Amino acid sequence: MNILVAGACGQLGRELREIAPLSENRYFFADLKQEEGVERLDICDAATVREMLGRNEVRVLLNCVAYTDVEKAESDADEAFRVNAEAPGVLAAICREMGVFLIHVSTDFVFDGRSSLPYLETDEPAPLSVYGSTKLEGDRRILASGCDCLIFRTSWLYSRFGNNFVKKIRNLCMKHDSIKVVIDEIGNPTNASDLAGLIFDILEDGSFKNHKGLYNYSDEGVCSRYDLACAVRDLYGLDCTVQPCRSSDFPTKAVRPANSALDKSAVRRDFSIDIPNWRDSLEMMVFDEML
């Protein structure tokens, strides 16, 4: 089976590139960036997408592309909408036309964070930011297209690759004696390698064909940004004081959900998987980096 990964230079795409050689399937990698083994692709260019899918006889398209700069999206809404909403809709239409299965990655930011419980797939979205709104519209366009698809909503993604909260905190702790981190944003930190592993496994065993639609996936356990920052400092053995503060102390253009924890009951049940605890997974990543 031939699989195309769009967004191969991002966190999730890089993790999939690491494990793809273990597969009996044939992976192709594409991105706007130019890297060895990665073909250039703009997912907003329908003709090029259609040509690449046909030329490589692709049966599964994994879309890891997103406009993820939450702050910049507030002043760059048109581009965020083009990448996060319009392009997924076009991909879905092409996949339906060509008989390609689409796997798409979405976000916890589609919720407003006012719930006291982890969000279910059936809970009503109410995004607070341009980023969340455009990602939600992408989800809706895919589901409305009628293509065979899986959408995984994930949260607080980090990895060894790219820019992310974990790397930011590590770097800040290395440069400063004391930092402040918000304690009133709650969620599920997720190692991108765990999500990549789930997608890889369901492609390998073919179970992706048996369940379609929307699923939550994040690492288990809930914490605040402050808790995560303390864990990062401790695991890297850094000498820095992490002080809790409120999000109002750091005004931003984009409003973040206060509690975006996700309920994973459905994905555990339908795909028979175990999901690691966020701290265990973070510790494993840090350990691997230090080898």
Residue of 27, 67, 119, 131 with catalytic role: 131
- Cα 287 off chain centre by: 22
Measured from the Cβ of residue 96, the count of other Cβ atoms closer than 10 Å reads 16
Total residues belonging to the chain: 291
Long-range contacts of 248-254 (CB under 8 A, 24+ apart): 249/180, 249/182, 250/180, 250/182, 252/71, 253/71, 253/74, 253/75, 254/70, 254/71, 254/73, 254/74, 254/128, 254/129, 254/130, 254/131
Q: Is 27 a catalytic residue?
A: no
Q: How far is CA 202 from the centre of its chain?
A: 17
Residue 183: how many CB atoms within 10 A of its CB?
A: 16
Residues with active-site annotation: 131
